[in-house]
């Protein structure tokens, strides 16, 4: 029972912080890269793109010149009628010192015009790589952890994410599935909505 509780605690501890941090940074990145047109042309009130990029890759570097955030997509489009942005096959990756890399991929991503909401659809995967260096607190290192679903709605300002679809969370020792999920980074909570099930296999204690 203690090991099962530890497994749930670990999932709760990493999911809100890494997922919300990664997607919040993504919306900030898009806001900086895609700006609305200064003048409207005939037909601009229709939901038609006025700007697009093909097979692009953008990198944000830290003060030491090391990659901190990387955004790639097969195509990106901006819509002047509501100032939203649409990404096809986006891949967003965060690399921070002393923290495992974090990556989000999906078939599509939509960022609302006010940058308050991000919607990811189709084969949504969020992955935190395994820790490789020594732990700062001397605690046990964790392996790779992943989240998979078909739809994810993210609200960066309130640090929340939710889905009403089936979601699967995996790590080296087990897997948990449910229909519906709510993440609240401010409260540090992870709520499975319904049909929760999973398996857990304790790892052998290292001597």
pLDDT at 139: 47
Question: Is residue 157 a part of any domain in this protein?
Answer: yes
Question: Is residue 14 a part of any domain in this protein?
Answer: yes
CA dihedral 175, 176, 182, 188 (to 10 degrees): -60
What domain range includes position 127?
2-34+52-131+142-200
Residues 42, 47, 53, 57, CA torsion sign: positive
CATH number, position 69: 2.60.450.10
Question: Is residue 168 a part of any domain in this protein?
Answer: yes
Question: Is residue 45 a part of any domain in this protein?
Answer: no
* Total number of domains constituting the chain: 1
How, if at all, do strands 91-94 and 67-79 pair? Answer: antiparallel
Question: Is residue 120 a part of any domain in this protein?
Answer: yes
pLDDT in tens, the chain (207 residues): 555 555 445 544 444 455 555 655 666 666 665 555 555 555 556 788 888 889 988 888 888 888 887 888 999 898 888 888 899 999 888 787 777 788 889 999 988 888 788 888 999 998 878 776 554 444 455 678 888 999 988 887 777 888 999 999 888 778 889 999 887 767 767 788 999 888 877 654 444
Question: Is residue 106 a part of any domain in this protein?
Answer: yes
Long-range pairs, 124-128, Cβ under 8 A, ≥24: 124/148, 124/149, 124/150, 124/151, 124/152, 126/18, 126/19, 126/22, 126/102, 126/152, 127/102, 127/103, 128/14, 128/18, 128/100, 128/101, 128/102
Question: Is residue 47 a part of any domain in this protein?
Answer: no
For residues 63 and 189, give the distance between their C-alpha atoms in angstroms, rounded to a whole number.
Answer: 33
Question: Is residue 153 a part of any domain in this protein?
Answer: yes
């Amino acid at each position: 029972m203690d090991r099962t509780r530890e497994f749930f605690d670990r999932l709760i501890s990493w999911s809100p912080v890494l997922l919300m941090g990664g997607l919040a940074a993504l919306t900030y990145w898009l806001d900086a890269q895609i700006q609305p047109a200064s003048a409207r042309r005939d037909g601009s009130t229709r939901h038609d793109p006025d700007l697009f990029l093909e097979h692009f890759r953008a990198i944000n570097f830290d003060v030491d010149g090391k990659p901190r955030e990387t955004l790639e997509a097969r195509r990106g489009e901006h819509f002047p009628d509501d100032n939203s942005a649409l990404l096809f096959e986006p891949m967003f990756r965060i690399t921070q010192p002393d923290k495992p890399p974090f990556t989000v991929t999906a078939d599509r991503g939509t960022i609302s015009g006010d940058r308050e909401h991000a919607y990811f659809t189709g084969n949504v995967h969020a992955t935190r790589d395994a820790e490789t260096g020594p732990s700062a607190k001397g605690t046990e290192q964790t392996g790779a952890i992943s989240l998979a679903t078909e739809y994810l709605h993210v609200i960066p300002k309130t640090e929340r994410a939710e889905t009403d679809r089936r979601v699967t969370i995996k790590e080296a020792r087990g897997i948990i599935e449910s229909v519906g999920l709510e993440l609240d980074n401010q409260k540090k909570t992870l709520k499975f909505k319904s049909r929760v099930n999973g398996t857990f296999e304790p790892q052998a204690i290292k001597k």
